Amino acid sequence: MKSYILWICLVLITNIVPLVCCAGDEDTRNKVEQMFPLLDLFASSIAIVENDYAIDVSATNLIYGALHGMLRSLDPHSEFMEPEDLEQMKVETEGKFGGIGIEIGFRDDYPVVIAPIEDTPAFAAGLMPNDRIVKIGDISTRGMSLGDAVKLLRGEPGTEIQLTIQRNFESIRELKEIRITRTIIKVTKIRDAHILDPTNGIGYVRVTSFGLDTHIELQNAMDGLATQGMKSVIVDLRNNGGGLLKEAIDMSDIFLAAGKLIVSTKGRIEQQNKEYYATTSPKKHPIPLALLVNGASASASEIVCGAIKDNRRGIVVGIKTFGKGSVQTVIPIGDNNCALRLTTAKYYTPSGVCIHGTGIYPTIEVKIPLEDEIKLIEKRSSAYKNYSAESATEKEKSTYEELRRFRDVQLDRAVDVLVALDFMKTELK
């Protein structure tokens, strides 16, 4: 049995070697060869478990379990992906999937909510950015990988899940249980495109995620606003947890002049060291630009933010972003549709700032209290948009009126800056 397990391990390593050594890296080959003596320890452990464990376990499950543990020990974003994991990733990328509707990250050994997705069960249940998920059902999430957390959050539409969350905002310290019913999540990437200030020609577009063709939808929205007299634009990236790198690059390209550096990636191997530049695409919008960001703006949002800020292409208004700037590469392995989702590099802004763990500081910092943060999220909810005075209860009417009077100070500041820029441009000619 031990020799059989060792043979399986050798096959696995044989499959891995061509992937990691494809560039002919002699140092990498030597490192791989040094692993072989340790395989005897691994094979012996599997053989003992398979022979002596209280119930029957298969070698496949043991090896899969070992691979899950190995990748999990690296960082929260690296994981071993079984065939169903790969399929789920494809579904998520296409922007339609089953679940509760949150973007999650990882901090202080726990998964945290980066942002609830609008018009989803999580949004309706009142989950907030930075809520720490301490339990999913009866299972503690401490030390859990993001992949495992996502698996537990996923489920058949119509089924219920209980989350225990810890909220730490300013003076608020609370632990609460929230029951949420899963549904099919459909992500609308571009929202609320309209002329915000007709007098000054200020347009507004909110980008909620970076899925397939987000940049095309943004381009179409901006083209439409241009026909309505838009002279400057505010792009709202608040509570946008990110998405595809390509979409962040293509979105930045809409605003940046050809040849401007958008983002770079740096890793341990040469293939991961890349730079991405703006193209000569004719579909540019060289108008004055302001970005809105907050602590729930992450990943792709931060790439766009860094590109615009460092190239002095526009102003960034809000508070420091989340700080998720690591690159994950999906590497197929073996012949059974498995893969490694491995952190291979980190993102750097054009000025050389590493996004990961640092985030992007705005050009103009505008903080808002927790109460206003909650009101902003509530005002974006479908309940507010579909409000009917005829059928509303007195409490709903009171809430609606309060939200209607709510002033978004971050948005107001962005408007003020764009108005001032237009004034200076006119007066200083």
State the catalytic residues: 299, 310, 324
d(CA 350, CA 300): 14
How many angstroms separate the CA atoms of 95 and 209, rounded?
9
CA separation for the pair 397, 48 (Å, rounded): 67
Nearest residue to 284 (alpha-carbon basis) of 193, 205, 223: 223
What 3-state class would DSSP assign to 135?
strand
Q: Do residues 165 and 175 touch, judged by C-beta distance below 8 A?
A: yes
Q: How far is CA 183 from CA 154, 206, 351, in A?
A: 9, 24, 42
Radius of gyration of the chain (CA): 24
> What are the two backbone dihedrals, phi and then psi, of residue 394, each rounded to the nearest 5 degrees?
-60, -40
CB 65 within 8 A of CB 48: no
User: Residue 62 in contact with residue 46, Cβ under 8 Å?
Assistant: yes
By the 8 A CB rule, do 267 and 273 touch? yes
User: Residue 109 — left, alpha, or beta (φ > 0 → left; ψ -120 to 50 → alpha)?
Assistant: left
